[in-house]
Protein backbone atom coordinates (compact mmCIF):
# COMPACT_ATOMS: atom_id res chain seq x y z
CA UNK A 1 0.00 0.00 0.00
CA UNK A 2 1.42 3.39 -0.89
CA UNK A 3 1.96 6.09 1.74
CA UNK A 4 -0.77 8.72 2.05
CA UNK A 5 -0.39 11.94 0.08
CA UNK A 6 0.91 14.79 2.29
CA UNK A 7 -1.58 17.56 2.76
CA UNK A 8 0.49 20.69 2.73
CA UNK A 9 3.84 21.42 1.16
CA UNK A 10 5.44 24.65 2.37
CA UNK A 11 8.32 26.09 0.36
CA UNK A 12 10.33 28.87 1.96
CA UNK A 13 12.12 31.05 -0.60
CA UNK A 14 10.27 32.38 -3.62
CA UNK A 15 13.00 32.57 -6.22
CA UNK A 16 14.20 30.18 -8.88
CA UNK A 17 14.55 27.05 -6.74
CA UNK A 18 11.37 27.69 -4.76
CA UNK A 19 9.37 28.30 -7.91
CA UNK A 20 10.71 25.22 -9.67
CA UNK A 21 9.94 23.16 -6.58
CA UNK A 22 6.32 24.32 -6.65
CA UNK A 23 5.99 23.71 -10.37
CA UNK A 24 7.59 20.30 -10.11
CA UNK A 25 5.33 19.32 -7.22
CA UNK A 26 2.28 19.97 -9.37
CA UNK A 27 3.82 18.37 -12.43
CA UNK A 28 4.59 15.24 -10.45
CA UNK A 29 1.01 15.00 -9.27
CA UNK A 30 1.10 16.53 -5.82
CA UNK A 31 -2.50 17.39 -5.03
CA UNK A 32 -2.17 18.87 -1.56
CA UNK A 33 -1.90 22.59 -0.92
CA UNK A 34 1.34 24.35 -1.84
CA UNK A 35 2.40 27.46 0.05
CA UNK A 36 5.28 29.52 -1.33
CA UNK A 37 6.71 32.03 1.13
CA UNK A 38 9.06 34.78 -0.10
CA UNK A 39 10.77 37.63 1.70
CA UNK A 40 10.85 39.90 -1.33
CA UNK A 41 7.80 41.69 -2.64
CA UNK A 42 8.45 40.36 -6.15
CA UNK A 43 7.48 37.22 -7.97
CA UNK A 44 10.51 35.10 -8.89
CA UNK A 45 12.81 36.91 -11.32
CA UNK A 46 16.08 36.28 -13.08
CA UNK A 47 19.02 37.59 -11.03
CA UNK A 48 21.94 37.24 -13.48
CA UNK A 49 20.98 40.29 -15.63
CA UNK A 50 21.00 42.52 -12.54
CA UNK A 51 24.78 42.92 -12.56
CA UNK A 52 24.95 43.16 -16.34
CA UNK A 53 22.56 44.90 -18.78
CA UNK A 54 20.00 45.86 -16.13
CA UNK A 55 22.53 47.97 -14.25
CA UNK A 56 23.29 50.25 -17.16
CA UNK A 57 19.92 50.57 -18.84
CA UNK A 58 17.43 52.78 -17.04
CA UNK A 59 14.63 51.30 -19.13
CA UNK A 60 15.47 47.66 -18.50
CA UNK A 61 12.79 45.72 -16.68
CA UNK A 62 13.21 42.67 -14.52
CA UNK A 63 12.60 39.33 -16.20
CA UNK A 64 9.97 37.50 -14.19
CA UNK A 65 9.81 33.73 -14.58
CA UNK A 66 6.05 33.65 -14.03
CA UNK A 67 3.09 35.94 -13.51
CA UNK A 68 0.65 35.82 -10.62
CA UNK A 69 -1.85 34.17 -12.97
CA UNK A 70 0.50 31.28 -13.68
CA UNK A 71 0.85 30.54 -10.00
CA UNK A 72 -2.87 30.89 -9.43
CA UNK A 73 -3.40 28.37 -12.24
CA UNK A 74 -1.14 25.97 -10.37
CA UNK A 75 -3.12 26.62 -7.21
CA UNK A 76 -0.04 27.84 -5.36
CA UNK A 77 -0.65 30.09 -2.37
CA UNK A 78 2.07 32.72 -2.84
CA UNK A 79 2.91 34.86 0.17
CA UNK A 80 5.21 37.67 -0.88
CA UNK A 81 6.91 40.13 1.44
CA UNK A 82 6.78 37.52 4.18
CA UNK A 83 9.97 36.45 5.97
CA UNK A 84 10.31 33.14 7.69
CA UNK A 85 11.73 34.01 11.06
CA UNK A 86 11.90 30.60 12.63
CA UNK A 87 11.29 26.90 12.25
CA UNK A 88 9.64 24.63 14.76
CA UNK A 89 10.55 21.23 13.38
CA UNK A 90 8.90 19.38 16.26
CA UNK A 91 5.58 21.12 15.69
CA UNK A 92 6.11 21.05 11.89
CA UNK A 93 5.56 24.75 11.44
CA UNK A 94 7.30 27.67 9.82
CA UNK A 95 7.22 30.85 11.88
CA UNK A 96 6.69 34.17 10.12
CA UNK A 97 6.71 36.85 12.79
CA UNK A 98 3.66 36.28 14.94
CA UNK A 99 2.21 33.62 12.64
CA UNK A 100 2.82 29.94 12.19
CA UNK A 101 2.19 27.91 9.07
CA UNK A 102 2.00 24.19 9.55
CA UNK A 103 3.45 21.83 6.99
CA UNK A 104 3.42 18.16 6.19
CA UNK A 105 6.51 18.62 4.02
CA UNK A 106 8.90 21.53 3.96
CA UNK A 107 11.35 22.62 1.29
CA UNK A 108 13.96 25.19 2.24
CA UNK A 109 14.92 27.27 -0.78
CA UNK A 110 16.14 30.48 0.81
CA UNK A 111 19.27 30.63 -1.30
CA UNK A 112 21.94 33.11 -0.37
CA UNK A 113 22.37 36.60 1.03
CA UNK A 114 25.18 38.93 0.06
CA UNK A 115 28.20 38.55 2.31
CA UNK A 116 28.74 41.79 4.18
CA UNK A 117 31.96 43.51 5.18
CA UNK A 118 32.88 43.04 8.83
CA UNK A 119 31.40 45.67 11.16
CA UNK A 120 34.95 46.74 12.04
CA UNK A 121 35.46 47.80 8.43
CA UNK A 122 32.51 50.15 8.52
CA UNK A 123 33.72 53.24 10.26
CA UNK A 124 31.42 55.75 11.88
CA UNK A 125 29.42 57.70 9.38
CA UNK A 126 29.95 61.44 9.51
CA UNK A 127 27.36 62.15 6.86
CA UNK A 128 23.84 63.42 6.98
CA UNK A 129 22.54 61.04 4.30
CA UNK A 130 20.78 57.82 5.13
CA UNK A 131 22.33 55.70 2.39
CA UNK A 132 24.20 52.61 3.52
CA UNK A 133 27.96 53.09 3.64
CA UNK A 134 28.35 50.13 1.34
CA UNK A 135 25.86 48.78 -1.19
CA UNK A 136 25.41 45.16 -2.17
CA UNK A 137 23.79 43.62 -5.21
CA UNK A 138 21.65 40.61 -4.54
CA UNK A 139 18.05 41.59 -5.20
CA UNK A 140 16.02 43.51 -7.74
CA UNK A 141 15.60 46.30 -5.21
CA UNK A 142 19.37 46.44 -4.65
CA UNK A 143 19.88 46.64 -8.42
CA UNK A 144 17.33 49.44 -8.86
CA UNK A 145 18.92 51.44 -6.07
CA UNK A 146 22.45 50.91 -7.40
CA UNK A 147 21.40 51.71 -10.96
CA UNK A 148 20.25 55.14 -9.82
CA UNK A 149 23.80 55.90 -8.74
CA UNK A 150 25.83 54.25 -11.47
CA UNK A 151 26.23 57.33 -13.69
CA UNK A 152 28.89 58.34 -16.21
CA UNK A 153 30.38 60.89 -13.83
CA UNK A 154 30.26 58.65 -10.74
CA UNK A 155 33.35 57.46 -8.89
CA UNK A 156 32.73 53.89 -7.89
CA UNK A 157 34.78 51.61 -5.68
CA UNK A 158 33.91 47.93 -6.01
CA UNK A 159 35.22 45.70 -3.23
CA UNK A 160 35.81 42.16 -4.46
CA UNK A 161 36.76 41.16 -7.98
CA UNK A 162 34.79 37.92 -8.10
CA UNK A 163 32.10 37.38 -10.71
CA UNK A 164 29.57 39.87 -9.41
CA UNK A 165 32.17 42.51 -8.46
CA UNK A 166 33.82 42.19 -11.88
CA UNK A 167 30.46 42.46 -13.61
CA UNK A 168 29.48 45.55 -11.66
CA UNK A 169 32.86 47.13 -12.46
CA UNK A 170 32.57 46.33 -16.18
CA UNK A 171 28.97 47.52 -16.36
CA UNK A 172 29.84 50.81 -14.66
CA UNK A 173 32.86 51.29 -16.94
CA UNK A 174 30.67 50.78 -19.98
CA UNK A 175 28.89 53.98 -18.88
CA UNK A 176 32.31 55.69 -18.50
CA UNK A 177 32.08 55.85 -14.72
CA UNK A 178 35.42 55.95 -12.95
CA UNK A 179 35.87 52.53 -11.36
CA UNK A 180 38.40 51.15 -8.89
CA UNK A 181 38.17 47.43 -8.20
CA UNK A 182 39.75 46.29 -4.93
CA UNK A 183 40.67 42.62 -4.56
CA UNK A 184 42.30 40.90 -1.60
CA UNK A 185 43.88 38.12 -3.68
CA UNK A 186 46.82 38.90 -5.94
CA UNK A 187 44.87 37.71 -8.98
CA UNK A 188 41.10 38.12 -9.40
CA UNK A 189 39.01 34.96 -9.62
CA UNK A 190 42.07 32.84 -8.94
CA UNK A 191 40.25 30.39 -6.67
CA UNK A 192 37.39 29.95 -9.08
CA UNK A 193 39.20 29.96 -12.42
CA UNK A 194 42.92 29.66 -11.72
CA UNK A 195 45.78 32.09 -12.37
CA UNK A 196 45.75 32.00 -16.18
CA UNK A 197 42.14 33.06 -16.58
CA UNK A 198 42.50 35.36 -13.57
CA UNK A 199 45.39 37.17 -15.27
CA UNK A 200 43.39 37.46 -18.46
CA UNK A 201 40.51 39.01 -16.49
CA UNK A 202 42.98 41.50 -14.94
CA UNK A 203 44.14 42.53 -18.40
CA UNK A 204 40.57 42.93 -19.59
CA UNK A 205 39.79 45.23 -16.68
CA UNK A 206 42.89 47.24 -17.48
CA UNK A 207 42.07 47.44 -21.16
CA UNK A 208 38.59 48.76 -20.49
CA UNK A 209 39.80 51.33 -17.99
CA UNK A 210 38.96 49.79 -14.62
CA UNK A 211 41.73 50.39 -12.10
CA UNK A 212 42.37 47.04 -10.44
CA UNK A 213 44.09 47.10 -7.04
CA UNK A 214 44.87 43.47 -6.25
CA UNK A 215 46.51 42.07 -3.13
CA UNK A 216 45.05 44.74 -0.87
CA UNK A 217 42.37 44.67 1.78
CA UNK A 218 39.84 47.23 2.87
CA UNK A 219 40.80 48.58 6.27
CA UNK A 220 37.77 50.81 6.67
CA UNK A 221 35.05 52.78 4.94
CA UNK A 222 33.68 56.06 6.25
CA UNK A 223 31.16 58.60 5.04
CA UNK A 224 32.49 62.10 4.51
CA UNK A 225 29.62 64.36 3.61
CA UNK A 226 27.90 62.67 0.67
CA UNK A 227 31.04 60.80 -0.26
CA UNK A 228 32.58 57.57 0.85
CA UNK A 229 36.23 57.29 1.88
CA UNK A 230 37.84 53.85 1.54
CA UNK A 231 41.11 53.22 3.36
CA UNK A 232 43.15 50.27 2.11
CA UNK A 233 45.75 48.10 3.82
CA UNK A 234 48.33 49.66 1.47
CA UNK A 235 47.62 53.05 3.06
CA UNK A 236 45.95 54.30 -0.11
CA UNK A 237 42.75 56.29 0.38
CA UNK A 238 39.99 56.29 -2.26
CA UNK A 239 37.19 58.83 -2.38
CA UNK A 240 34.03 57.60 -4.05
CA UNK A 241 30.40 58.42 -4.65
CA UNK A 242 29.41 54.77 -4.29
CA UNK A 243 31.04 51.76 -2.69
CA UNK A 244 29.71 48.33 -3.60
CA UNK A 245 30.81 45.08 -1.98
CA UNK A 246 30.81 41.95 -4.12
CA UNK A 247 32.50 39.64 -1.68
CA UNK A 248 30.39 36.53 -2.05
CA UNK A 249 27.23 35.09 -0.64
CA UNK A 250 26.30 33.21 2.52
CA UNK A 251 23.45 30.72 2.87
CA UNK A 252 20.28 32.51 3.99
CA UNK A 253 19.64 30.09 6.81
CA UNK A 254 19.77 32.39 9.85
CA UNK A 255 16.00 32.08 10.27
CA UNK A 256 16.33 28.34 10.93
CA UNK A 257 18.33 28.98 14.10
CA UNK A 258 19.16 25.76 15.88
CA UNK A 259 16.08 23.92 14.60
CA UNK A 260 18.24 21.98 12.15
CA UNK A 261 21.85 20.90 12.26
CA UNK A 262 22.99 22.62 9.09
CA UNK A 263 26.59 22.94 8.07
CA UNK A 264 27.33 26.68 8.30
CA UNK A 265 28.84 26.98 4.85
CA UNK A 266 26.86 24.44 2.99
CA UNK A 267 23.33 24.47 4.33
CA UNK A 268 23.22 20.72 3.92
CA UNK A 269 22.62 17.92 6.37
CA UNK A 270 23.05 14.68 4.48
CA UNK A 271 23.68 13.03 1.19
CA UNK A 272 20.11 13.49 0.12
CA UNK A 273 19.75 17.00 1.54
CA UNK A 274 17.15 15.60 3.88
CA UNK A 275 17.67 17.58 7.06
CA UNK A 276 15.10 15.98 9.24
CA UNK A 277 12.04 13.88 8.57
CA UNK A 278 9.82 15.77 6.11
CA UNK A 279 12.34 18.55 5.46
CA UNK A 280 14.62 19.02 2.49
CA UNK A 281 16.83 21.83 1.35
CA UNK A 282 17.34 22.92 -2.19
CA UNK A 283 20.00 25.43 -1.36
CA UNK A 284 22.75 26.06 -3.88
CA UNK A 285 25.22 24.02 -1.90
CA UNK A 286 22.85 21.22 -1.08
CA UNK A 287 24.09 19.12 -3.97
CA UNK A 288 27.10 18.04 -2.00
CA UNK A 289 26.74 14.70 -0.36
CA UNK A 290 28.77 15.00 2.78
CA UNK A 291 28.29 14.98 6.50
CA UNK A 292 28.41 18.21 8.43
CA UNK A 293 31.53 17.70 10.50
CA UNK A 294 33.84 15.47 8.49
CA UNK A 295 37.14 16.76 7.15
CA UNK A 296 35.89 16.11 3.64
CA UNK A 297 33.13 18.59 4.48
CA UNK A 298 35.68 21.34 4.72
CA UNK A 299 37.24 20.43 1.38
CA UNK A 300 33.81 20.22 -0.22
CA UNK A 301 32.81 23.51 1.38
CA UNK A 302 35.63 25.34 -0.30
CA UNK A 303 34.93 23.61 -3.61
CA UNK A 304 31.28 24.48 -3.23
CA UNK A 305 32.08 28.10 -2.52
CA UNK A 306 33.81 28.12 -5.89
CA UNK A 307 31.11 26.23 -7.69
CA UNK A 308 28.32 28.41 -6.43
CA UNK A 309 29.10 30.48 -9.47
CA UNK A 310 27.02 28.06 -11.42
CA UNK A 311 24.22 27.97 -8.94
CA UNK A 312 21.30 28.35 -11.25
CA UNK A 313 21.20 24.92 -12.81
CA UNK A 314 22.14 23.27 -9.54
CA UNK A 315 19.44 25.03 -7.55
CA UNK A 316 16.96 24.12 -10.20
CA UNK A 317 17.99 20.50 -10.45
CA UNK A 318 17.99 19.99 -6.70
CA UNK A 319 14.56 21.46 -6.23
CA UNK A 320 13.13 19.26 -8.93
CA UNK A 321 14.73 16.14 -7.50
CA UNK A 322 13.26 16.90 -4.12
CA UNK A 323 9.76 17.66 -5.22
CA UNK A 324 9.73 14.54 -7.33
CA UNK A 325 10.53 12.62 -4.16
CA UNK A 326 7.69 14.38 -2.38
CA UNK A 327 5.20 14.51 -5.15
CA UNK A 328 4.42 10.90 -5.78
CA UNK A 329 4.83 8.90 -2.64
CA UNK A 330 4.84 11.51 0.04
CA UNK A 331 7.89 10.07 1.74
CA UNK A 332 11.25 11.83 1.51
Ligand X SMILES: Cc1cc2nc3c(=O)[nH]c(=O)nc-3n(C[C@H](O)[C@H](O)[C@H](O)COP(=O)(O)OP(=O)(O)OC[C@H]3O[C@@H](n4cnc5c(N)ncnc54)[C@H](O)[C@@H]3O)c2cc1C
Could you tell me which residues come within 8 angstroms of residue 136 by beta carbon, excluding any fewer than 6 positions away? 114, 116, 142, 244, 245, 246
Work out the number of other CB atoms within 10 angstroms of the CB of residue 151: 14
Over 190-219, what HEC string results? Answer: HHHHHHHHHHHHHHHHHHCCCEEEECCCEE
Which residues sit opposite 159 in a β-bridge?
A: 182, 245
Name residues contacting ligand X, limited to 164-183 (CB under 6 A).
164
Minimal distance, residue 167 CB to ligand X, in Å: 7
* Residue 160 touches ligand X, criterion: CB under 6 A: no
- When CB distances to ligand X are compared, the closest residue is 111
Residue among 223 and 285 whose Cβ is closer to ligand X: 285
3-class secondary-structure state, position 303: helix
Q: Tell me the C-alpha distance between 247 and 183, whole Å.
A: 9
Could you tell me which residues come within 8 angstroms of residue 239 by beta carbon, excluding any fewer than 6 positions away? 155, 224, 227, 228, 229, 230
Name residues contacting ligand X, limited to 63-92 (CB under 6 A).
83-84
Which one of 44-52, 60-68, 124-132, 177-185 is the stretch in contact with ligand X (CB under 6 A)? Answer: 44-52
CA 222, 228, 231, 236 torsion-angle sign: negative
3-class secondary-structure state, position 40: coil
Which of 9, 10, 17, 286 forms a contact with ligand X (CB under 6 A)? 17
Residue among 6 and 13 whose Cβ is closer to ligand X: 13
- Do 230 and 240 contact (CB within 8 A), yes or no? yes
* Residue 40 touches ligand X, criterion: CB under 6 A: yes
Residue among 12 and 265 whose Cβ is closer to ligand X: 12
Minimal distance, residue 215 CB to ligand X, in Å: 25
Residue among 232 and 325 whose Cβ is closer to ligand X: 325
The count of residues interacting with ligand X (CB under 6 A) is 31
Which of 6, 32, 111, 198 forms a contact with ligand X (CB under 6 A)? 111
Residue among 232 and 253 whose Cβ is closer to ligand X: 253
* Residue 16 touches ligand X, criterion: CB under 6 A: yes
Binding string to ligand X for residues 298 to 317, with x set by CB under 6 A, is what? ------------xxx--x--
Minimal distance, residue 124 CB to ligand X, in Å: 29
Q: Which helix (H) or strand (E) holds 171?
A: helix 163-174
Work out the number of other CB atoms within 10 angstroms of the CB of residue 62: 15
- Do 37 and 129 contact (CB within 8 A), yes or no? no
Strand 178-183: give its sheet, edge to edge: 211-214, 178-183, 155-159, 242-245
Q: Tell me the C-alpha distance between 289 and 284, whole Å.
A: 13
* Residue 110 touches ligand X, criterion: CB under 6 A: yes
* Residue 137 touches ligand X, criterion: CB under 6 A: yes
Which one of 60-68, 107-115, 290-298, 299-307 is the stretch in contact with ligand X (CB under 6 A)? Answer: 107-115
Which of 26, 27, 48, 77 forms a contact with ligand X (CB under 6 A)? 48
Residue among 107 and 230 whose Cβ is closer to ligand X: 107
- Chain positions contacting ligand X, by CB under 6 A: 12-18, 37-40, 47-48, 50-51, 83-84, 109-112, 137-138, 164, 252, 255, 284, 310-312, 315
Amino acid sequence: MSAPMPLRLVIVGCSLAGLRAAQAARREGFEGSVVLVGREEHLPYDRPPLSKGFLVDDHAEATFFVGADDLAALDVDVRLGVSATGLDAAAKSVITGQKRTGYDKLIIATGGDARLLAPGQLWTSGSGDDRPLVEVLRTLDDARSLRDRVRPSARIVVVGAGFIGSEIASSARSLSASVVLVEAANVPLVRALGPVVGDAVSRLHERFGTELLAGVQVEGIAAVGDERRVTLSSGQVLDADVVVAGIGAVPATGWIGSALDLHPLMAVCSATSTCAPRIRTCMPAAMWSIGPTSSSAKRCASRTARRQRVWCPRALRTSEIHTRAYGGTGSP
